[in-house]
Chain A
Amino acid sequence: MLYIKCPYCGLRAQKEFSYGGDATVKRPNINEEVSSEDWDNFVYMRKSPRGKHIELWQHIAGCRQWIKVQRDTATHEIFQTAKVTEEIR
């Protein structure tokens, strides 16, 4: 079970969090034209890297904040966690 450092609450067990996918995906701006290709990429296309991955988790049974976690998908090593407003690396 992962041990995730919530930037607001500190180290907490994985079961307090829920996973939210790739954190680097950016939603196209609202009220702006978007090509079908860009939209499809946003909705469906995700990389599935082996290694470092920046992802979203929500501290659902805690402060309810969405946070960024940089994790190795193969070893589960967590290199860094941050608030969503902060940059990783």
Chain B
Amino acid sequence: MSQPFRLNKVGLINRNKKISFTFNGKKLFGYEGDTIASALIANGIHLVGRSFKYHRPRGFFGAGVEEPNAKLQVEFNGHSEPNVNATEMELVEGLSATSQNCWPSVNFDIGAINNFLKMFFPAGFYYKTFMWPKSFWYKIYEPFIRKAAGLGVASIEKDKERYEHKFEYCDLLVTGSGPSGLASAYAAAKNGAKVILAEDKPRFGGTLLTDDVSIDNLSGKDWAEKIITELKSMPNVTVKNRSQVFGYYDHNMLVMFERVGDHLEKKSKFTPRQRLWYIRAKETILSTGSIERPIVFGNNDTPGIFLSAAAKEYMKVYGVLVGKKPLIFTNNDSAYETALGFKKNNVEPIILDTREEHSSELIDEAKSKGIDIRFSHGVIVANGYKKVKSAKIGKLNKDKNSFEKIETVDCDCICVSGFWTPSVHLASQSGNKLKYEEKIDAFIPDKKKQHETSVGAANGSFTLEESLKHAFENGSNLSAKITETKTEISIPNVNEKKYGAHDKFWCMPLPKNENPKRFVDFQNDVSVSDIEIALREGYRSIEHVKRYTTLGMATDQGRTSNLNGLQLVSNIENKIVPEVGHTTFRPPFTPITIGTIVGREVGMEYMPTRKTPMHEWHEKNNAVFVDAGAWKRPRYYKQGNETLFEASKREAKNVRENVGICDVTTLGKIDIKGPDAAEFLNRVYTNAWMKLPVGKARYGLMLREDGIVMDDGTTTRISENHYHMTTTTAQAANVLSHLEYYLQIVWPELNVNVVSTTEQWAGAAIAGPKSRDMLSKLYPDLDVSNEALPFMGYKEAEFFGVPSRIFRISFSGELAYEINVKSDHGLFMWEKMMEVGKEFGNQPYGTEALSTLRIEMGHVAGPELDGRTIPSDVSLNGLVSKKKDFIGKNSLGREAFNVESRQKIVGLIPIDRKSSIPEGSHIVQDQNAKLPNPKLGHVSSSCWSVENNNPFSLAIMKDGKNMIGKKFFAVSPLKNKSIEVEVISSHYVDPEGKRVRS
């Protein structure tokens, strides 16, 4: 199959490798080195999509990141991705691309009726239409907008590709490998600086690949190749193509998006698809070049209309003609190179130049080649629906606001050039307030805020000679400051064409009684009339005009539309552009995939998994795990077909009747040492700590300075100046930071050191009436009687030859012990306990049973200590010392904490003794009251009491202490339940706490 628009022997593609792909189901081929866009144009295909609002037919407009229209749904490597820029995506074997925003097909799109109803879609249409009534929002407006909005379809499949993040540091980051970027990187590299050179496209060289210039007697392309080859050979230089620096953040942190594997037909298992680089650069060279802007005219969005530089790039890089009967429409000299390119390939262009007849090097060359040049001319309106067929052109009068002559000429493409806009996005993101440069009608960087230097076209310098000189100097000077080495480099000789001045002309007037759409922003379908409406309706700030019309808000960030939009506003407002100002540039410069942002942090790699030394045993014994922060904890040990409810009931019951063991390794542990340790604990905890003897543990409560409970746990005095603190699993890290804060900042005079030992100790709780019997078997040589090892006692002893710590503490409310051994011995300890415990009916129990045990005892935990409760709310005011000062004490006197009806913990049981009360239920007086039903409290924890064989819950309730005996409703709209409950004491089992002391 032939490609009707492919040139012979022109371009940088590899004609030895054909690549087949499909577009809207049609089988096509291109060559290695093509983009989807160049391959489609080579095949004569221009209609690629439908526009966002009016569903107008759209084709290619640019050849790179500036492309506003050609966003495709692309399937390759087994996944589907929306909004892929056809001008950037390289062709790979088997790729399949489809048009977006059209139904049933791009050729016949029902949504295009919007185009004929366009009077109903003016600026601010959505704001004006979808305002009221409120009830219409969910059922009518929102579904309509959702259906109409967006272009492609996001995949709901799991993304199987690999994405990576990389952190890098360098002396100089150079963004863009055009002539200025190459020169800066080269000069810096010669000074020994660590340089990263990033190029967005697959090929290095930027405009050197398409401009008719020579450097040191080499063609631009050959010079670029020579410099790149040398840079690649230098160990201090990293050269990256397919890499877009898309964000400039604080402290010279830049982010770069590297397309590592998207162009590969097959890649190895560990080759990522894309990689995100975080680059901390000492200095940054912004050599991002410039983007051509169009001139606005009627139906300027018709397929077949291109930026003139894009047409040149398709010709010179891809060997593709965008048409065979071209109109070149320009206000400056650069488009003449495109015209000369056509001519060289035996295509006859017509040049329409808005300027009056004059002469320059390029104009003279075009004339001498016999090209038809029409000065003071421009395109009024393009004709043709799905492709340009002809154009109505006009000769402008002297004021350029009406026409002296109008005629129609046949054409199959229009290449438009409205001069050049420096790509100042990164400079602006870095904090640089831009300034308006009258000479080029565009913004350029002004005073730098960070270590950034713009060079070349990005800085508004449009001649090669000046750009190279400036870039070599900056690359050399910036790097010399860092490396303190300066290598002299001679600036090369340059041969380039001299451009004449451009015409400050950006929008074609319309003849009387003609009103075709003149688009400013193609991607968001914003036309000249939309901006006129916005201004007529009183919008003045450019930021407001932008939001009201959506000008420049699409994924192309208005690269080809912003300045024309500003010019339009300035003209209507009779202001100059710098007074209107520009909108804010924000990262990302180009769209990047979500996968790249996420990187490897997916699934199990989302965060580290912490496992206790006994984890393997739990796994082998059918533990079902639950996440506790990063920890995996056994929730229950499943026997047979047991449900969670059945298993946890069995496990809890066994603790109440016999004995159970629980892995408590995850509890936070902090080692505290120093002569002032007791004084420190006395300030940190609400209760008294000065008199705790060695070998004893104490339960402690700590507050924040605002009086709210922060955490609870036991701390044991191991020796005179040595304590072992435990925290809840969830608060371990916060408590350590809290202690460090007070020791380092508030009371540095205290001689105390703290360190986390959570991972150093494995812990197991032994709980139940038979736990002492079991303990005596575990420690046959130790006196474990109630007298020798009383409640809150502590002993150190050998556990079958392994040093261990024994704490007589209890969370379950039963007679209980906690054994700690060094982590390496954790599994040994556990297995030994299982073996020795057999005769006492020992069973392991998980967090679900643990919760049941603590809830029915009325012991508070995370759900009650929820950052809103003070000690008396959770009946822990007995632990609050009146005699001494401590963190948060002064706050406890606040009025709201001491009102009579203050919230308090209570117990709840359902009247029917059967219905479990969902956690989070609201307690209300009247279940049928009108909403919002006044809330009297909430259910914090629920369990099935194994002791009483009915449901039991803890709740935090307003005026809780006076509610005992009263009846309410616990309502859960989420579970659609309403349960009548009675308020009882929060201590449902063993209220005197006899068991723990038995």
Candidates A30, A34, A65, A75; contact of B449 at CB < 8 Å: A75
Contact, CB under 8 Å: A66 / B740? yes
For residue B683, give the distance in angstroms from its CB to the closest CB of chain A.
6
Residues 61-89 (chain A) with a chain B CB within 8 angstroms: 64-66, 75-76, 78, 84-85
| Chain A CB within 10 A, most for which of B683, B745, B893 | B745
B431 contacts the other chain (Cβ, under 8 Å)? yes
**Cα distance A65–B754 when bound, in Å?**
12
* Residues of chain A within 8 A of B431, CB atoms compared: 75
Contact, CB under 8 Å: B705 / A31? no
Contact, CB under 8 Å: A58 / B748? no
What bracket does the count of chain B residues touching chain A fall in?
20 to 34
Contact, CB under 8 Å: A3 / B706? no
**Cα distance A66–B249 when bound, in Å?**
25
* Residues of chain A within 8 A of B253, CB atoms compared: 1, 3
Candidates B278, B683, B884; contact of A1 at CB < 8 Å: B278
Residues 36-67 (chain A) with a chain B CB within 8 angstroms: 36, 39, 42-44, 56, 58, 60, 64-66
Contact, CB under 8 Å: A60 / B737? yes
**Cα distance A1–B167 when bound, in Å?**
12
Given A43-B705, A75-B449, A76-B251, residue A31 in contact with residue B885 (CB < 8 A): yes
Given A3-B280, A76-B251, A85-B748, residue A42 in contact with residue B741 (CB < 8 A): no
Contact, CB under 8 Å: A43 / B706? yes
Contact, CB under 8 Å: B746 / A2? no
**Cα distance A84–B249 when bound, in Å?**
28
Closest to B884 in A: A31
**Cα distance A1–B249 when bound, in Å?**
6
Closest to A58 in B: B737
| Chain A CB within 10 A, most for which of B431, B737, B890 | B890
* Residues of chain A within 8 A of B747, CB atoms compared: 30
For residue B360, give the distance in angstroms from its CB to the closest CB of chain A.
45
Contact, CB under 8 Å: B251 / A42? no
For residue B51, give the distance in angstroms from its CB to the closest CB of chain A.
38
* Residues of chain B within 8 A of A58, CB atoms compared: 737, 740-741
Contact, CB under 8 Å: A27 / B746? yes
**Cα distance A64–B893 when bound, in Å?**
33
* Residues of chain A within 8 A of B251, CB atoms compared: 1-3, 76, 78
**Cα distance A42–B280 when bound, in Å?**
38
| Chain A CB within 10 A, most for which of B251, B740, B891 | B251
Contact, CB under 8 Å: B885 / A66? no
Given A1-B250, A30-B683, A30-B885, residue A18 in contact with residue B737 (CB < 8 A): yes
* Residues of chain B within 8 A of A20, CB atoms compared: 741
**Cα distance A66–B278 when bound, in Å?**
26
Contact, CB under 8 Å: B250 / A76? yes
B493 contacts the other chain (Cβ, under 8 Å)? no
* Residues of chain A within 8 A of B252, CB atoms compared: 3
**Cα distance A76–B450 when bound, in Å?**
11
Contact, CB under 8 Å: B737 / A65? no
* Residues of chain A within 8 A of B890, CB atoms compared: 28, 34, 39
For residue A78, give the distance in angstroms from its CB to the closest CB of chain B.
8
**Cα distance A85–B746 when bound, in Å?**
10
Contact, CB under 8 Å: B705 / A42? yes
* Residues of chain B within 8 A of A42, CB atoms compared: 705
Contact, CB under 8 Å: A39 / B891? yes
**Cα distance A43–B891 when bound, in Å?**
9
Q: Is the interface of A mostly helix, strand, loop or mixed?
A: loop
Contact, CB under 8 Å: B740 / A64? yes
A side interface size, CB within 8 A: 27
**Cα distance A84–B740 when bound, in Å?**
12
* Residues of chain B within 8 A of A39, CB atoms compared: 890-891
B639 contacts the other chain (Cβ, under 8 Å)? no
Would you give the 0/1 interface string for B869-890, flagging 1 where the beta carbon is closer than 8 Å to chain A?
Answer: 0000000000000001100001
**Cα distance A44–B896 when bound, in Å?**
15
**Cα distance A20–B683 when bound, in Å?**
20
For residue A23, give the distance in angstroms from its CB to the closest CB of chain B.
8
For residue A88, give the distance in angstroms from its CB to the closest CB of chain B.
14
Residues 880-915 (chain B) with a chain A CB within 8 angstroms: 884-885, 890-891, 893
**Cα distance A2–B893 when bound, in Å?**
40
* Residues of chain B within 8 A of A1, CB atoms compared: 249-251, 253, 278
* Residues of chain B within 8 A of A18, CB atoms compared: 737
Would you give the 0/1 interface string for B62-84, flagging 1 where the beta carbon is closer than 8 Å to chain A?
Answer: 00000000000000000000000
* Residues of chain A within 8 A of B705, CB atoms compared: 27, 42-43
Residues 1-47 (chain A) with a chain B CB within 8 angstroms: 1-3, 13, 18, 20, 27-28, 30-31, 34, 36, 39, 42-44
Candidates A30, A60, A66; contact of B745 at CB < 8 Å: A66
* Residues of chain A within 8 A of B217, CB atoms compared: none
* Residues of chain A within 8 A of B884, CB atoms compared: 31
* Residues of chain B within 8 A of A64, CB atoms compared: 740
**Cα distance A31–B253 when bound, in Å?**
47
**Cα distance A27–B111 when bound, in Å?**
66
B744 contacts the other chain (Cβ, under 8 Å)? yes
Closest to A31 in B: B885
**Cα distance A29–B428 when bound, in Å?**
48
* Residues of chain B within 8 A of A44, CB atoms compared: 706
* Residues of chain B within 8 A of A84, CB atoms compared: 744-745, 748
Contact, CB under 8 Å: A2 / B250? yes
Would you give the 0/1 interface string for B725-755, flagging 1 where the beta carbon is closer than 8 Å to chain A?
Answer: 0000000000001001100111110000000
**Cα distance A34–B278 when bound, in Å?**
49
Closest to A56 in B: B745
Closest to B737 in A: A58
**Cα distance A18–B449 when bound, in Å?**
25
Closest to B280 in A: A3
For residue A54, give the distance in angstroms from its CB to the closest CB of chain B.
13
* Residues of chain A within 8 A of B737, CB atoms compared: 18, 58, 60
* Residues of chain A within 8 A of B746, CB atoms compared: 27
* Residues of chain A within 8 A of B706, CB atoms compared: 43-44
For residue B676, give the distance in angstroms from its CB to the closest CB of chain A.
12
Closest to A28 in B: B890
**Cα distance A61–B717 when bound, in Å?**
29
**Cα distance A28–B891 when bound, in Å?**
12
For residue B302, give the distance in angstroms from its CB to the closest CB of chain A.
45
**Cα distance A52–B449 when bound, in Å?**
16
For residue B279, give the distance in angstroms from its CB to the closest CB of chain A.
11
Closest to B251 in A: A3
For residue A70, give the distance in angstroms from its CB to the closest CB of chain B.
14
Closest to B755 in A: A64
**Cα distance A43–B745 when bound, in Å?**
16
For residue B610, give the distance in angstroms from its CB to the closest CB of chain A.
16
Given A2-B251, A39-B891, A58-B737, residue A66 in contact with residue B280 (CB < 8 A): no
Closest to B744 in A: A66
**Cα distance A2–B249 when bound, in Å?**
8
* Residues of chain A within 8 A of B249, CB atoms compared: 1
For residue B758, give the distance in angstroms from its CB to the closest CB of chain A.
14
**Cα distance A65–B249 when bound, in Å?**
26
Closest to A65 in B: B744
**Cα distance A56–B738 when bound, in Å?**
13
* Residues of chain B within 8 A of A36, CB atoms compared: 893
* Residues of chain B within 8 A of A34, CB atoms compared: 890
* Residues of chain A within 8 A of B167, CB atoms compared: 13
**Cα distance A2–B250 when bound, in Å?**
6
For residue A47, give the distance in angstroms from its CB to the closest CB of chain B.
18
Residues 428-445 (chain B) with a chain A CB within 8 angstroms: 431
Ordered by A's residue number, 5 sampled pairs between the chains whose C-beta atoms are within 8 Å are A1-B250, A20-B741, A58-B741, A60-B737, A66-B741
Rank and list the top 3 A-B pairs by shortest CB-CB distance, nearest first. Answer: A3-B251, A76-B250, A39-B890
Known: A1-B253, A44-B706, A66-B740; 18 extra A-B contacts, CB below 8 A, are: A1-B251, A1-B278, A3-B250, A30-B683, A30-B885, A31-B885, A43-B705, A43-B891, A58-B737, A60-B737, A64-B740, A65-B744, A66-B744, A66-B745, A76-B250, A78-B251, A84-B744, A84-B748
